């Protein structure tokens, strides 16, 4: 995507320096655009855990590049395999909910094993990291094209009146390598000249909607309005939402969706008001082992200070201010699970399917259990 006329992905190898990974440090957006260098596995792990990079697809891509750095480090360590396995464990421990993380680490572990010597293992890890990132971008682009058909169908019913789409959190290009998932149909529709407007949930406590989705949409010139997290139900009751599209951090093969905390409440309101509720995700966000999302998807519990303090720009500097009584404890559940029965459909890189085992496995037959 373009940022001030320059084309960026969210992660890449530094030109001219194969040993450095570069990322956009998302903690300072939308107020500052900072590129950060990552040179070690530990720096990648910190960047994931502390959310310099975040969003399911980007977490996976970062883990892929982290494993490539691990091969560089391992070649000068005492035991190559021991170092690689420790790096995999370190990266896997950073964030529990987005399944893209372990998916990417496991893909790298399998690939690295194929190399016959250290140099070949490094080259394989480099190619695999790039492939993970390229595929993520390509899958998001396809999701945009399939999601566009849903927007066009609504456009026909509305006879050209503006279409109001509500989204939660940031499942935009910043959450992936490019294009995003929930935003990909929005970009595709806007670029095709369809009259759209986006309701952007602020997404407390880290405000990925207010900070990141709003920044992305503004940069693209897409009409949008930031709303407090509790507004969506009211808008739906008053016919002001035609479509909800969210992303997913982990979706079971039965169609239950873990996504940013608050998604479930939006799905309940959407069902009560007959508003279509779609989830857009690449296949790397499916968990092919878990059947019951509510019972078995691990939900990240983050630091209470993310709830107690709020970050913003003051006198030209980023500051954290205390919101609650200092002594009040806070609970910071980062994700919730929306049961499949509340979901109209899943938009994937292979097409749109229903949120149930049969329909998902028809699109992805290679995961059918034998
Ligand atoms: O905690 P984050 O910002 O990494 O959360 C992930 C998300 O961006 C959202 O849940 C998103 O809707 C899922 S799609 C990446």
Q: Report in angstroms the alpha-carbon separations of 205 from 157, 192, 354.
A: 36, 34, 31
Residues 280 and 150 placed together within one structural domain of the fold? yes
Ligand 1 in contact with 140 (CB < 6 A)?
A: no
Q: For residues 69-91, b (16+ Cβ closer than 10 Å) or e, as one string?
A: bbbbbbeeeeebeebbebbbebb
Ligand 1 in contact with 259 (CB < 6 A)?
A: yes
Q: Residue 127 CB: number of other CB atoms within 10 A?
A: 12
CATH number at residue 83: 1.20.120.420
Tokens, residue 157 = 């019913």
Residues 91 and 160 placed together within one structural domain of the fold? no
Residues 80 and 225 placed together within one structural domain of the fold? no
Residues 240 and 336 placed together within one structural domain of the fold? yes
Query: Of the candidates 135, 160, 189, which is a domain's last residue?
Result: 135
Atom of ligand 1 lying closest to residue 170 CA = 8
The CA 258 to ligand 1 mean position distance, Å, reads: 10
Query: Of the candidates 101, 135, 169, which is a domain's last residue?
Result: 135
Residue 4 has a pLDDT of 86
Residues 86 and 53 placed together within one structural domain of the fold? yes
Residues 42 and 121 placed together within one structural domain of the fold? yes
Residue 158 lies inside a defined structural domain of this protein: yes
Ligand 1 in contact with 249 (CB < 6 A)?
A: yes
Domain that holds residue 120: 2-135
Active-site annotation, residues: 249
Instruction: Give 333's DSSP letter.
Output: B
Residue 140 lies inside a defined structural domain of this protein: no
Atom of ligand 1 lying closest to residue 59 CA = 4
Q: For the segment 16-47, what is each residue's pLDDT rounded down to a tens digit?
A: 999 999 999 999 999 999 999 999 999 999 99
Contact indicator for 269, 235 with CB cutoff of 8 Å:
no
Ligand 1 in contact with 177 (CB < 6 A)?
A: no
Tokens, residue 245 = 């599209």
| Count of domains for the chain | 2
Q: For the segment 345-363, what is each residue's pLDDT rounded down to a tens digit?
A: 999 999 999 999 999 999 9
Residues 160 and 284 placed together within one structural domain of the fold? yes
Residues 243 and 347 placed together within one structural domain of the fold? yes
Measuring from atom 12 of ligand 1, which residue has the nearest CA?
247
Atom of ligand 1 lying closest to residue 57 CA = 15
Residues 256 and 305 placed together within one structural domain of the fold? yes
Residue 141 lies inside a defined structural domain of this protein: no
Residue 316 lies inside a defined structural domain of this protein: yes
CATH number at residue 280: 3.40.50.10470
Mean pLDDT, consecutive 10-residue stretches, the chain (370 aa), reads 90 98 97 97 98 98 98 94 98 98 98 97 98 98 98 95 98 97 98 98 98 97 98 98 98 98 98 98 98 98 98 94 98 98 98 98 92
CA distance 136 to 64: 12
Ligand 1 in contact with 260 (CB < 6 A)?
A: yes
Residue 369 has a pLDDT of 79
Q: Which of 176, 259, 261, 279 to mutate to test the pocket of ligand 1 (most atoms within 8 A of CB)?
A: 259
Ligand 1 in contact with 246 (CB < 6 A)?
A: yes
User: Cis omega before residue 205 (within 30°)?
Assistant: yes
Q: Which of 52, 56, 57, 167 to mutate to test the pocket of ligand 1 (most atoms within 8 A of CB)?
A: 56
């Amino acid at each position: 995507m373009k940022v001030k006329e320059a084309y960026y992905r969210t992660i890449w190898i530094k030109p001219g320096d194969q040993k450095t990974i570069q990322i956009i440090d998302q903690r300072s957006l939308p107020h500052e655009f900072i590129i950060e260098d990552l040179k070690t596995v530990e720096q990648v792990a910190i960047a994931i855990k502390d959310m310099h990079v975040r969003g399911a697809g980007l977490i996976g891509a970062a883990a892929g590049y982290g494993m490539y750095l691990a091969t560089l480090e391992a070649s000068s360590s005492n035991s190559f395999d021991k170092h690689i396995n420790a790096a995999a464990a370190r990266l896997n421990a950073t964030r529990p909910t987005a399944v893209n993380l372990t998916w990417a680490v496991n893909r790298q572990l399998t690939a690295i094993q194929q190399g016959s010597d250290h140099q070949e293992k490094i080259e394989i890890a480099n190619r695999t990291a790039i492939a993970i990132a390229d595929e993520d971008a390509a899958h998001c682009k396809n999701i945009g094209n399939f999601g566009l058909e849903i927007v066009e169908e609504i456009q026909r019913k509305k006879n050209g009146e503006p279409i109001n789409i509500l989204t939660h959190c940031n499942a935009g290009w910043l959450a992936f390598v490019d294009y995003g998932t929930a935003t990909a149909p929005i970009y595709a529709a806007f670029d095709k000249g369809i009259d759209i407007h986006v309701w952007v949930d602020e997404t407390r406590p880290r405000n990925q909607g207010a900070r990141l989705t709003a920044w992305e949409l503004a940069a693209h010139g897409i009409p949008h309005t930031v709303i407090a997290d509790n507004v969506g139900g009211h808008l739906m009751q008053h016919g002001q939402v035609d479509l909800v599209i969210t992303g997913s951090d982990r979706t079971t093969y039965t169609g239950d969706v873990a996504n940013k905390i608050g998604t479930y409440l939006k799905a309940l309101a959407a069902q009560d008001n007959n508003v279509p509720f779609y989830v857009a995700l690449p296949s790397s966000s499916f968990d092919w082992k878990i059947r019951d999302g509510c019972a078995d998807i691990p939900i990240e519990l983050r630091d209470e200070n993310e709830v107690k303090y709020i970050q913003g720009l003051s006198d030209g500097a980023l500051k954290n201010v205390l919101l609650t009584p200092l002594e009040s404890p806070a609970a910071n559940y980062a994700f919730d699970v929306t049961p499949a029965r509340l979901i109209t459909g899943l938009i994937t890189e292979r097409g749109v399917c229903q949120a149930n085992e049969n329909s998902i496995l028809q699109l992805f037959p290679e995961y059918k259990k034998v």
